Amino acid sequence: MDTLLSSSPVAIAPPRCPDLLAPAGNWDCARAAVENGADAIYFGLDRFNARMRAQNFTEADLPELMAFLHRRGVKGYVTLNTLVFPAELAEAEQYVRTMIAAGVDAAIVQDIGICRLIRHLSPDFPIHASTQMTITSAAGVAFAQALGCNLVVLARECSLKDIRKIRQQLGDSLRDRGANRAMSMPLEVFVHGALCVAYSGQCLTSESLGGRSANRGECAQACRMPYDLIADGQKVDLGDRHYLLSPQDLSGLDVLPDLVATGVACLKIEGRLKSPEYVANVTRVYRNALDRVWQMVSERQSDEFAARPSASSPEDRYNLEMAFSRGLYTGWFRGINNQELVHARFGKKRGVYLGEVTRLRNERAMIRLQAPLKPGDGVVFDSGHPDAPEEGGRVYSVEMQGNEATLTFGRGAIDWRRVRVGDRLWKTSDPELDRQLRQSYAGDTPKVQRPIAIEVHGEAGQPLVAIARDEQGHIAQIESELPLAIAQTQPLTTERLRAQLGRLGNTPFYLDSLQNHLGNATMLPLSELNRLRRELVAQLEAQRAQPKPWHLNPHATLHTLLPAAPAPSCSPASTNLIALTRTLPQLQAALTAGLRTLYCEFEDPRKYREAVGLVRSHPNSDSLEIFVAPPRITKPSETWILRQVKNAQADGYLVRNYDHLQFFADQRRIGDFSLNVANALSADYFQRAGLERLTASYDLNLQQLEGLLTSCPPDWFEVTIHQHMPMFHMEHCVFCACLSLGTDYTNCGRPCEKQVVKLRDRTGTEHILQADAGCRNTVFNGTAQTGAEAVHRLMQLGAQAFRLEFLNETPAQVMQTIQRYQALLEGTLSGTALWKDLKLQNQLGVTRGTLNS
């Protein structure tokens, strides 16, 4: 796949207007999306979707929902976008069969095993690779394509430059293979909504802190909480900046022409937990803006997309901020700007900024308004302490004196003792706008109509034949019950036919074109023309409502795809204790402790040569092996980092993403936890790809891990039993944002190389922050965790490889910890004693962690 790694970007003309994909957490949201111009909606069922807190739909809702959507010309995608555990595969199979039978247009999937299951059951049911698959490169897109995916949702961290590069590399690959470039994999990107600070599919924060996995739809939103920055043991004074991991909300409106120019197939709005008013508002804004952009494209007003004006207006921005806003920003589309992505002043909805309070008098507030405000609107006074209760309410009156407004409120609505001059005022509610938005999807009359073409044929003495076609290729035909007669007056001209057949106001259609092939001067009663129109509409609606006829392999089942179950073993397997170290002194300590298999994960890959040399120079080097780890994320321009890693000439490499799978294909490889292997179908796929072992997903608790080990050969896996959980893995650099005035690695001064930094949460725990070679940050749980109490049970099930991960421990602590685990595997120390021993002696704060059942 080296052909994917081409160089100079080229302009790729978009072949068609991108689809607009809107979220739907319930029926009202679905209607709001449809009536405001969405081309497709995505929604979850009551299992296996990444927004379990949404109202969601049920399997029984699918036939009615899909019929409604298809009658309206809208596609419906089901989010099957969580990891699926071994005991749940049979239920997931039934979900897939139900989706196929109901004519769902695609499933949005995270789990590699579920992609395999869908393609095993059906050769043509569309699979969309979820953003939870963390695809950031052409190699990742090619991986998804090999799985049978039909579209890839790129990670939100991909910039416009990245997207263009991926599109170009995919096109170059097709050209080199002699394939049609138009067959390149369609790409989808998020264009609006909440931004996760961590890479989707790589955030283990909720799992680590509370056993609620984001990969299972149970994100606890720890990124929206306040944190203190601790540098070299001292709290850094950041003023009113406390929400260090809470990005502004994404708004791609300002770069919409550039996004269209990249050739992406679909623009996605986030928000399955949001209200119908939010869905209506945001969908309408982007529908109108996208139509304007596409009209400019179609009219070829400019040769360069970059020269096109912005697609947004002040009214659009107002509407989007009122829908939901923590501040609106273009995210990563324009590249990395760590100063702007996270303003860090609040982590919750604010709305439209109105200005600062200039005076307070007689229970009134004076302010120089920067945005419209009227009686009935809701506001909140922001004193700079968003974690504390805030004053706010509905405005009773707005009196303008020059450029200053005097605001009054209902009696007792505001505690004026808690409001100060200088407080910032935000507009959080606009009842009039909400009323308009609710009207946009209220009632049964369609507000958005799709085009149809009608042609009529016939001569005097014969029936009139009317044929209607929609944009999806459905066709309806009807004959008049009365023959055409010679017209004495008012013949059926094209204008009269258009006037009568175009009366489609309460239908999902509008008349786009009419072809009149009638003989000269014929006529038909208007009542008959009306009947023909109604019949044509009914036929088209009935055809559109039919489920998509996806194929289902009658002989395929989950059990025919599962790997052979392992035979029970009578003899205990030999165990291998593995240490992952992050410094050379830690590596030396692990060598001294007598470990045979060693992993290294260094911030600077150039130091891997020294690590490999250290192992190779050891007296027992013939019995030792060293694997080194590339960074978890690979962007299109970062192959140089992989080359640095490979130049170390280690015994093997930790595979952490799809680029690594391809780049190190000719080397020994161990699959790391970031591949999210949670069931036998995923494990089997990576085993077939040549990986020696797989690190079981950190989302598995003991019971689920037991299910994995009993559903496929246990020697396929290694289990991490001691670590500081890597919680947030981010493109955002906290070092740069908080310890420099720079925007990215080119001008930040590299504080990550000079200071030891931690983030202190509300409980007082200090979580450790580290950067990698790509300047991405990982926040590690400040409290180490152990699975020691589960080890003997796992050994009984055939597990042989157990990993210890070290972070900031001293060499002495590394040595002592390894010795304790060696005693555990030898049976001379119990798991409970190890846990208590480490907690007492090393003061590592070890907890039992996620391996508790």
pLDDT tens figures, 632-688 = 999 999 999 999 999 999 999 999 999 999 999 999 999 999 999 999 999 999 999
Which residues, listed in sequence order, are joined to residue 518 by a DSSP beta bridge?
458
Q: What's the pLDDT at 565?
A: 77
DSSP string, 629-647: ---S---TT-HHHHHHHHT
Rounded CA separation 547/827 (Å): 60
In angstroms, the CA 143 to CA 73 distance is 31
pLDDT value of position 93: 97
Structure tokens at 118: 């869908």
Helix (H) or strand (E) holding 468: strand 463-470
DSSP string, 799-840: --EEEEE-SS--HHHHHHHHHHHHHHHHTSS-HHHHHHHHHH
Beta strands, E only, 58-179? 75-80, 106-109, 127-129, 151-153
Residue with tokens 């002040």: 314
**Residue 421, C-beta contacts closer than 8 angstroms, at least 6 positions apart:** 357, 358, 359, 360
Report how far residue 507's alpha carbon sits from residue 72's, in angstroms, rounded to the nearest whole number. 9
The tokens of 179 are what?
A: 């394939």
Using DSSP bridges, classify how beta strands 187-193 and 249-251 pair: parallel, antiparallel or unpaired: antiparallel
| Amino acid sitting at position 584 | L
304 CB-near residues (< 8 Å, 6+ apart): none
Sign of CA dihedral 481, 487, 493, 499: negative
Shortest CA distance to 268 belongs to which of 25, 55, 19? 19
The answer to whether the beta carbons of residues 711 and 89 sit under 8 Å apart is no
Question: What's the burial of 527, exposed, middle or buried (CB within 10 Å: 0-12/13-18/19+)?
Answer: exposed
Distance between CA atoms of 481 and 53, rounded to whole angstroms? 55
Position 722 scores a pLDDT of 94
Give pLDDT, residue 309: 54
The full DSSP string for 678-724 is -SHHHHHHHHHTT-SEEEPPTT--HHHHHHHHHHS-GGGEEEEEEE-
Q: C-alpha distances in angstroms, 116 versus 89, 126, 585?
A: 12, 12, 43
**Which of 356-384 are b and which e, b meaning 16 or more Cβ less than 10 Å from the residue's Cβ?**
ebeeeeeebbbbebebebeeebebbbbbe
Distance in angstroms (rounded) separating the CA atoms of residues 510 and 508? 7
DSSP for 386-441, written as a single string: TTS---EEEEEEEEEETTEEEEEE-TTSS-GGG--TT-EEEEEE-HHHHHHHHHHH
For the chain, the distance separating the N- and C-terminal CA atoms, rounded to the nearest angstrom, is 42
State the Cα–Cα distance between residues 302 and 691, nearest whole angstrom. 50
Cβ–Cβ < 8 Å for 213, 206: yes
What pLDDT score was predicted for residue 727? Answer: 94
Q: Yes or no: say if 119 and 97 are a contact pair by the CB < 8 Å rule.
A: no
Query: How many whole angstroms separate alpha carbon 762 and alpha carbon 783?
Result: 14
CA triple 820-825-828, angle to 5 deg: 70
Instruction: Write the burial class of residue 539 (CB in 10 Å: 0-12 exposed, 13-18 middle, 19+ buried).
Output: middle
Cross-strand pairs, 108: 79, 128
Residue type, position 565, single letter: A
Each residue of 699-717: pLDDT tens digit?
998 999 999 999 999 999 9
Rounded to two decimals, the pTM is: 0.93
- Owner of token pair 């990563």: 332
pLDDT at 182: 47
Report the alpha-carbon angle 68-117-150, nearest 5. 60
Average pLDDT per consecutive 10 residues, the chain (853 residues; last block may be shorter): 31 71 96 98 89 79 96 97 94 96 97 98 98 97 96 98 95 68 81 95 83 76 93 95 96 96 96 95 97 86 50 89 95 96 93 96 95 96 91 96 92 94 96 97 94 96 96 96 92 95 95 93 94 97 95 94 78 86 98 97 96 96 96 95 97 98 97 97 97 95 93 95 94 97 95 95 94 95 91 94 96 96 94 80 48 57
Separation between Cα atoms, residue 607 and residue 591, nearest integer Å: 17
Q: What's the number of CA atoms in the CB half-sphere (13 Å) around residue 454?
A: 29
Structure tokens at 574: 């030999």
Cβ-based neighbours of 495, under 8 Å, separated by 6 or more: none
Please count the residues of the chain.
Answer: 853
Distance separating alpha carbons of residues 824 and 805, to the nearest angstrom: 16
Determine the Cα–Cα distance for residues 131 and 152; give it in Å rounded to an integer: 8
Q: What is the pLDDT at residue 568?
A: 66
